[in-house]
Amino acid sequence: MTDVLRRGRASLAFAFLVQGVAFALLVTRIPAIQDRYGVSDSLLPVFLAAVPILAGVGSVATERVVRRAAPSRVLRWSQPVVLLSLLVVGAGEQMAVLAAALAVFGLAVGALDASMNMLGVSLQRAYGRSIMLGFHAAYSLGGIVGASLAWAGAHWQLALWVSYLPVVLVLMPAALAGSRWYVDAEENEEENEEEKRSLAAEGTVAKGSGDARDVAGAGLRWLLPLCLVMTVAYIGDSTVSNWSAKYLQDVLGSSEQLATVPYNVYMVTTLLGRVIGDFGVRRFGAVAVVRSGALVAASGFAVVAGAPGAWVGMLGFTLLGLGLCVLVPQTFAAAGRRAHELHGPGASDAAVARLNVFNYVGFLIGSPLVGAVGDAWSYRGAMLVPMVLVLVTLVHARSFVAQPDRYGGGHERPHTADVGRGSNGL
């Protein structure tokens, strides 16, 4: 069983990395895509907004699909669709082709994001310790790789399809091969049924460990605080990705070349924070890590807003990467864990799919919100808006408290059984 979980963990981490590469290749080449298809500045926001909206639709649809098909099957086939639609974006010539390719890309990304995080949550439950941040670290690494490949393509003035084709030819077969080792929650729980019966006989099985599969009618009001945290985290993330270069150049007076650095710094610190984040959760607990992340992120926005020059501004973006990076993975983990505690096997998939929608809500809100406040007031003042919003996470930090989960498998030491429980009893 241990080897099965290890292979499942490695293959899922690779899927996260592939998705990071694909998404970065799309968003970092938006100017080239705009030029290729002749998309006007007024029409571009429509195309950009359509992708997260359709991704939300894909995530909602995935909640229904996984009632009949395992999340691993959704992930196995949605990832090639994402890669192929990316290639079509790079190879097409007509506006209708671009619209269709982006629509397919958005729907597939929603299914992919939801199913990846479903598998991540279930694997964390099987491992009995925090590993979710590691998966998102792989996504961050993929984003850095994708952005670097996009830079190389732009530097050498390669056609979009020339930049995309080698990536697709390499990653798609590798992702399909790796999908053989995905591990579903249902498989884990069937393997550990004997241990669960033993625990039940001792009266130690967690509440709600029945066989419920359909939670569409179940009360999920407890999920709302986590949805708010997810939205706030992505408002912060989209603020950095959409406004960091403009802010550094127009407000802090940096050169055009230096203005490209903050997002790269943000991505690198996000990766570093996620690499070490699981260790922090195991040592101090999820609540402490989330609270610390929110405070660091808020400090980063404060530094950016008050920065006297470009280098201090970059310090602020560095803090933002270290702070925001822990919020999203821990929110998925908390939602999946809590759903499993309350409603039993299968419930965590529905919770993750619903929560994933607010990923795209935050992405849609963040950039326009900062732009509107910046135009109406000042861009320094606009940076205080996500600062205040991210502090809302502190109010809902108790939503990340882990109950005494009973993970199966028997391959972890007993003291690792309660994911996110710190030495203070949280």
**Residue ranges covered by each domain of the chain:** 1-184, 207-426
Express each pLDDT in 87-136 by its tens digit: 999 999 999 999 999 999 999 999 999 999 999 999 999 999 999 999 99
Whether the per-residue pLDDT at 220 is higher than 90: the answer is no
Q: What is the pLDDT of residue 221?
A: 84
Distance CA 178, CA 8 (A): 9
Per residue in 266-296, pLDDT (tens digit) is: 999 999 999 999 999 999 999 999 999 999 9
Residue 309 is classified by DSSP as S
CB-neighbour burial class of residue 241 (10 A; exposed 0-12, middle 13-18, buried 19+): buried
Q: pLDDT: is 69 or 194 the higher one?
A: 69
Cα 366 to its chain centre, rounded Å, is 16
pLDDT at position 123: 95
Count other C-beta atoms under 10 Å from residue 166's C-beta: 10
The residue that leads in pLDDT, 403 or 39, is 39
Work out the end-to-end distance of the chain between its first and last CA atoms, rounded to an integer number of angstroms: 30
Q: How confident is the model at residue 31 (pLDDT cuts 50, 70, 90)?
A: confident
State residue 403's pLDDT score: 57
Q: Please give the CATH topology (third level) of the domain spanning 207-426.
A: Growth Hormone; Chain: A; (1.20.1250)
- Three-state secondary-structure class, residue 211: coil
Mean pLDDT lowest among 71-75, 377-381, 398-402: 398-402
Q: What is the mean pLDDT of residues 131-144?
A: 96
- Look at residues 90, 115, 154, 101 and name the one whose alpha carbon lies nearest to residue 19: 115
Q: How confident is the model at residue 259 (pLDDT cuts 50, 70, 90)?
A: confident
DSSP three-state, residue 257: coil
Mean pLDDT of 203-224: 53
Structure-block tokens of residue 409: 């498998």
Helices (H), 92-159: 95-127, 132-155
Question: How far, rounded to the nearest angstrom, does the alpha carbon of residue 312 sit from its chain's CA centroid?
Answer: 28
In the DSSP assignment, the letter for residue 237 is H
Cβ atoms of 359 and 230 within 8 Å: the answer is yes
Fold of the domain spanning 1-184: Growth Hormone; Chain: A; (1.20.1250)
Average pLDDT over residues 194-207: 44
Question: Cα–Cα distances in Å, from 422 out to 76, 229, 270?
Answer: 35, 21, 23
- Ranges 102-111, 129-138, 151-160, 213-222: which has the least confidence: 213-222
Quick: pLDDT tens for 296-332.
999 999 999 999 999 999 999 999 999 999 999 999 9
Cβ-contact 397, 243 below 8 angstroms: no
pLDDT at 213: 45
Q: Cβ neighbours of residue 185 under 8 Å, at least 6 residues apart?
A: 71, 118, 119, 121, 122, 125, 126, 345, 346, 348, 349
Nearest CA-CA partner of 56 in 119, 111, 100 = 111
Question: What's the whole-number mean pLDDT along residues 157-166?
Answer: 94
Residue 9 has pLDDT above 50, yes or no: yes
pTM: 0.87
Return the SS3 of 209. Answer: coil
pLDDT at 216 over 50: no
The H helix count followed by the E strand count for the chain is: 16, 0
403 contact partners, CB below 8 Å, separation of at least 6: 206, 337, 338, 341, 418
